[in-house]
Every structure is written in structure tokens, then in C-alpha cells.
Amino acid sequence: MDLARRMFMGQLARFTAGASLVPLATVAEAAINEQPPRRGGDPAKRYAMLIDLRRCIGCQACTVSCHLENDAPLGKFRTIVSQYEVDDPETGDMSTFFLPRLCNHCDNPPCVPVCPVQATYQQEDGIVVVDAERCVGCAYCVQACPYDARFINDKTQTADKCTFCTHRLEAGLLPACVESCVGGARIIGDLNDPESTISKMVAEHHGELKVLQPEKGTSPHVFYLGMDERFIDRPEAFASIWDIHGKDNEELHYEFSGH
Amino acid sequence: MNSAVIEILAPRYQIAWYPWAVQYFFMIALAYASLWLALPGLLGAARWKATARFAMLGAMTTAIVAPIALLADLHQPLRFWHFYAYFTPWSWMSIGSLMLPPFVFAIIALAWLVWREPMLVWRQRGDLFGMIARLVTLGSWQTPRLLVVTLALATTALSLGIAVYTGSEVAIVKGRPLWNTVWLLPFFATTGLIGAGGLVLLLSRIAGPRDPDTARNMLWVVSAAAVATAGVALMWVLEGLYMENSSVAAALRSVRHSAEWRSTSAWGLGVGTALTLGCLLLLWRKPQRGWSWIVGLVALHLAWMARWVVLMDVQTVQKQTAGYLEYTVGWGSSGWLGVVGTFGLWIALILVIDMLVPWRGALGGTAADAPDTTPDYSAKGAASHG
């Protein structure tokens, strides 16, 4: 009798404890503004990109091929190569510096926890994607990204960004920007595979690799080789392209900037 | 810092939140701050009852217009139901979407409770207004005072949630260093109080009956809120000087290199100082208090401008490329039309309520008997509250 009662009470305690824990567990998947669990994608992989700036010639083939592949609206870019004139601190000579920019597929992506409808999420393979069917176009993620990697697509009125061309990766193809890079500057691969080219390059150049705005704590997964330190944060640069004014002192926009 | 870096090619990144966002943050701050101004009167403070009448009109109308502006800022407004289908407890915006409807409905319910008392008198009328009064009051029972007090306290609790979420939503954005400071929360609240105080001063001038207590209360509130705002700004700067704070660093950089930011800062500081001095002058010189409505207009301007600077101007500071976006507000619905439309809707709502509800008679006030008679300004507000 006692034993039966004890067993019953034990079962009851387990049941009630379980019942109280289940909803708590689902509600408290993440604290406010912390990363929710990743979903989808291959959990065995961690995609990343390494950009060898020594090989980039600023031809914008990546920009154009990405635009064609992903049908981005004019004037908005999933990837683009910024171009700067810089002086050599030692010789004073001017040279050109190219900086390809794209989504950094951060390990701590600030764009993900802000999304109010879980339309933007990180896959288990590290790629950050947007479900355009669910996105409400609040642009909170656009504000949250410190890299300007996101924009509102004027055609779909939803958030848009680089996806490392997941649709191509799944088909065994390289992303459009990697495929079209004439200098072979962009290397994509799986960091979890020690035999991948990117893993080998990361191991070889570990001390020289740089990421953008590391102080933001986002842990970016686009690594730059041959990076000029002046461009890790917002460069203290003279924005010459925007300083061209017409005879009435109006700013002369280039053709895409009128959005 | 290296002046020899020249940006040759970079896109100029556009703004993602339109002036609709300013309208939302302005309206919702007026709503919760007006409620705070109405609270003492709702709880029974005699010298705050006239203030509460104006403040309830302000709170109720802004609480209705605010979510409309918010909805318009979505690029996919028809998908608003996704907020409720996919609740996301780790997103401040999602938490806000859950807080907003109860707050709006609570304010509407509170206004209904407060206004149905004077509306009971209109139930006897044979015209359209009588019919509406009979429908809206839901019977001729007297409003229990305990219910008003309870709902007022509950709505105030909800309003604190709204103040916290609207501030946090913006303050957690590390991508925009100028937003990324905890001082944004009290800044929104204190500038909201400046605006709400200004709104009450303005309403008491144009909607009457004018009330000496209201003028005095609101001049105190606006000047205290202005001083508090200055204190918040000072704390923000001090924190930046003594601690690692990228928000202040970004602000100083913006001001140093941009003539527009310099003039904006100077304007804000100038208007804030003038507003405080104006309040103190009118508190000191009682016969001149008829000019309080000008203080009200300036206060509303300051509260609106604070949000414009925080939400719009900050978006023109490029995140990782050089320079600033030369943003010009368009004429369409994402620009001035949205701004004017929101204000138009708000004024229309005030006029409709003014026509259908004898709100001046709430909380023991003296109501105009008929909606088509001019309010009797000679009454100078309820003498019983003096």
C-alpha cells in the first residue's frame, strides 16, 4: 500500500514537474536578444568564406554575377567590392585597395534575434537566411546588421541578403561570386572538414586573417587575407564619389542611388 | 584616422525605417506620457482633474493613431498577423507586438469608463447624439470609482511596458552605435513627457475650458521633464567620457565632421533651453500664462524632433562606408504624406470625439450641454477644482 502510494506520488511529481517544465522550455529557448536555436541545413558542416585580398582586382564580376543569379533590384547589392585610394604609410605612394563585402554569416548574427517573426534564421551549417514568405518587411534586421549586408528588396518588399547561394551549394555548385571571381580570391568551404581548402588556408594563415568590426562580438565567418587595418572598422575616408555636385550645387547621383 | 583614404566606389545605403517610424514613436510616447499625466486626476487629486480630462483625450487619440503609423512602416503591412502566428519571445519587437494591443484597448476602455459618465446625461436627448450615447454607454449604471482606479493603475502598468519596449527595441541595435545606449530609454520617456505636457497645454487653449491648475501643473511638468532630459543627455556624455561607450564616440564623430549634425545639436540645445526658460518665466509671471499654448507647441516640436533626429538622422550616418546619406524626405506615403496623414488622422479623431463625447464633463467637469453650442469659456474651468 505504502509502496503503491509512493510510486503514485512519484509518478505524479514527475508528471507535474514535466508539465511545468515543458512550456517553460519552449518559451525560454533564448533570452531577449540572444540567439535562438539554429534550424535546417547540414549540422555536420560550418560554411565560411575566405577572401584573399591580394588576388582581388576589383573587377566587380562577383557583384554582377550575384546580381544576375539572385535577381537583386538595381542599386542594392548582396555583394559589392568597395574601392579606395590609400596612401602607403611608409612611402606615401597612393595605391588602390579593394574590399569585397557580403554577409559575414556571423556565429553570433545580430540580425537573427531581432526578427519578430523568426523569418530570418541561422541554419545549422552557419548560413543565415530569410524566409521571404514569412518576412513582414519591418527592416529591423537591416538596422541590426553592422555590415550593411541586408536591404529591403523593392520587388518583394521583404528583407534580402547574401545566402552563400545555398541553392547552388545544395546542387553541388559554387556560389555565383566564387564561380565568377577571375582572380580566385574567394574561397568557400566547410570549416568542419579539415581537408577543405578553406580549413587548410585558415590553418596556414591563422595569424594574418582579419574580420570586419570584431569588437561588435558578432564573430564573422568571412575572413580576409591581406587586409589593411584601416578598413576593419568604418574607414576614416573622404567620400569622393558623393562629393560631385552639379552647377546648382545639387548632388549628382549615380544612376542607381535614387531609391 | 588617415585623411589620405579616399572612397572611390561604394553604394550609399538607404534608410530602412521611414518617417512612419517617427510618427509611431512620437504618438505612442504621447499616449503613455499623457496617461501618466492623467493618472493623478483619475486617482482623485482634485487639482489634477482638469489636466486629466485633457490628458485622457490626448492619450486615447494618440493610442489609436500610433499603431496605424507602425503598421504603415512595415513593407508588408498585410502580414501583420505573422507577429501573432509566430510569437518570438527573444525579439523586442515581437514582445512589443504583444504588449501594444492590450495597452491600446486598455486606454480605450479607460476613456470609455471616464467619458460614459457625462454621456449618461445625453441619453435623454432625442437626436443622433442621444442615440449614440445610449448605444455607447451600455446602460445607465453609474461608473464604479473602484473600476476606474483599478483600470487606470493596470493601464499605467501596461504603459511602463510600452515605454521599456520602445526604448529597448532601438537601444539594443549594436549596428547603429548612436542608438546603442541604455540612456535612450529614459530619453524617450522624458521627451515623451515634454510632448504630452505640451499637448495638454495646447488642448487646454484650443479645446477649453482653460484651467489655471492645468497651466501651472503642465508648466512644471514640461520644465521638470526638460531638465530631466538634459540630465539624461549629460549622463550619456559623462558615461562616454569615463567609460568605453561607442554611442558617444559615434555622436562626437558625427558632430565633428558634419555641419548638419552640428546645427541639429545646437538647435536641440537651444530649443530645450528656451522651453525650460519659457516655462519658468510663465510660472513666475502668472498674468502671462495665457501664452502657455506657445510653450505647448514648442514642447511638441521638441518631442517630435527628438524622435526625428534619433530615428531618421541617425540612419543617414553610414555604418561602414564613408560619409552620410543625403536623405531628402519624399512627398509620397513614405515621406511627408505619411507625416501629414498621421497628424490629419489624429486631428480628425480629436474632432470626432469632441463632437460625439461630452468629455469636458468627465471627472466632475462642466460639460457643454449640446455639441453644437460653443463651450462656455467664461466658466474658466471647473471652479469646484480651484
Query: Which helix (H) or strand (E) segment is A225 a member of?
Result: strand A222-225
Contact call for residues B30 and B195 (beta carbons, < 8 A):
yes
What is the per-residue pLDDT for A241?
64
Cβ-nearest to B5 among A144, A158, A238:
A238
Q: How distant is the Cα of B95 from the closest Cα of chain A, in angstroms? A: 8
Cβ-nearest to A241 among B8, B94, B174:
B8
Question: Among residues 312-341 of chain B, which lie with CB inside 8 Å of chain A?
Answer: 315, 318-323, 326
Residue A26 lies in a domain: no
Contact call for residues B53 and B359 (beta carbons, < 8 A):
yes
What is the per-residue pLDDT for A21?
44
Cα angle B90, B95, B97 (rounded to 5 degrees) comes to 140
What is the per-residue pLDDT for B286?
87
List the single best residue of B3, B98, B320, B333 to mutate versus A (max A Cβ within 10 A): B320
Residue A142 belongs to domain with CATH number: 3.30.70.20
- The per-residue pLDDT for range A154-173, each reduced to its tens digit, is 999 999 999 999 999 999 99
Q: Residue A105: pLDDT band by 50, 70, 90 thresholds?
A: very high
Closest residue on chain A to B75 (Cα): A137
What is the per-residue pLDDT for A24?
44
Please give the Cα distance from A100 to A84 (Å, whole number): 11
DSSP-assigned beta bridge partners for residue A86: A95
Please give the Cα distance from B120 to B131 (Å, whole number): 11
Cis ω for the linkage preceding B89 (within 30 of 0):
no
Helices then strands, counting H and E runs in chain B, come out as: 12, 1
DSSP single-letter state for residue A61:
H
Q: Is B256 on the interface with A (CB under 8 A)?
A: no
Q: Is B138 on the interface with A (CB under 8 A)?
A: no
A240 or A228, greater pLDDT: A228
Is the per-residue pLDDT at A5 higher than 70? no
Q: How distant is the Cα of B25 from the closest Cα of chain A, in angstroms? A: 15
Cβ neighbours of B148 (radius 10 Å): 18
Per-residue pLDDT, averaged over A211-228, amounts to 95
DSSP single-letter state for residue B172:
T
Q: Which residues on chain B are in Cβ contact (under 8 Å) with A73?
A: none
Tell me which residue range forms the domain holding A212: 47-243
Instruction: Using CB atoms within 10 Å of the CB of residue A204, give its burial: 0 to 12 exposed, 13 to 18 middle, 19+ buried.
Output: exposed
Please give the Cα distance from A216 to B30 (Å, whole number): 34
What is the per-residue pLDDT for B367?
62
Q: Which residues on chain A are in Cβ contact (under 8 Å) with B5?
A: 84-87, 230, 235-238
Q: Residue A244: pLDDT band by 50, 70, 90 thresholds?
A: low
Is the per-residue pLDDT at A257 higher than 50? no
Q: Residue A28: pLDDT band by 50, 70, 90 thresholds?
A: low
Q: How distant is the Cα of A237 from the closest Cα of chain B, in angstroms? A: 5
Cβ-nearest to B319 among A140, A234, A256:
A234
Q: Domain B19-371 is in which class?
A: mainly alpha
For chain B, list residues with pLDDT below 50.
1-2, 369-386
Q: Is B81 on the interface with A (CB under 8 A)?
A: no
HSE value, Cβ hemisphere, 13 Å, CA-based, for A183: 16
Please give the Cα distance from A84 to A95 (Å, whole number): 8
ipTM of predicted complex: 0.89
Is the per-residue pLDDT at A98 higher than 60? yes
B226 alpha-carbon distance from chain centroid: 15
Question: Among residues 160-199 of chain B, which lie with CB inside 8 Å of chain A?
Answer: 168-169, 172-176
Maximum distance among all Cα pairs of chain A, rounded to whole angstroms = 99
Per-residue pLDDT, averaged over A49-63, amounts to 97
Contact call for residues A120 and A76 (beta carbons, < 8 A):
no
Please give the Cα distance from B34 to B63 (Å, whole number): 10
Place of cell 469659456: B377
- Got the DSSP string for B27-87? HHHHHHHHHHHHHHHHHT-GGGHHHHHHHHHHHHHHHHHHHHHHHHHSSSGGGTTHHHHT-
Residues in contact with B27: Cβ distance below 8 Å, sequence separation at least 6, in sequence order: B62, B63, B65, B66, B69, B342, B346
Domain ranges of chain B: 19-371
Residue A33 lies in a domain: no
Q: Which residues on chain A are in Cβ contact (under 8 Å) with B173?
A: 110, 114, 143-144
Nearest-CA neighbor of A138 among A122, A161, A119? A119
Say yes or no for a CB contact (<8 Å) between B9 and A81: yes
Q: Which residues on chain A are in Cβ contact (under 8 Å) with B92?
A: 32-33, 114
- The per-residue pLDDT for range A61-78, each reduced to its tens digit, is 999 999 999 999 988 999
- Got the DSSP string for B310-369? IIIGGGGB-SSSSSB------SSTTTHHHHHHHHHHHHHHHHHHHHH--GGGGGGPPPPS
Place of cell 482623485: B44
Please give the Cα distance from A161 to A143 (Å, whole number): 13
Q: How distant is the Cα of A248 from the closest Cα of chain B, in angstroms? A: 16
Helix (H, G, I), strand (E, B) or coil at A125: coil
Rg (CA), chain A: 23
- What's the domain count of chain A? 1
Residues in contact with A142: Cβ distance below 8 Å, sequence separation at least 6, in sequence order: A150, A151, A152, A159, B16
What is the per-residue pLDDT for B154?
98
Nearest-CA neighbor of A184 among A9, A61, A85? A61
Say yes or no for a CB contact (<8 Å) between B320 and A147: yes
Contact call for residues A222 and A105 (beta carbons, < 8 A):
yes
Residue A224 lies in a domain: yes
Between chain A and chain B, how many beta carbons pairs sit less than 8 Å apart? 190
B36: left (phi over 0), alpha (psi -120 to 50) or beta: alpha
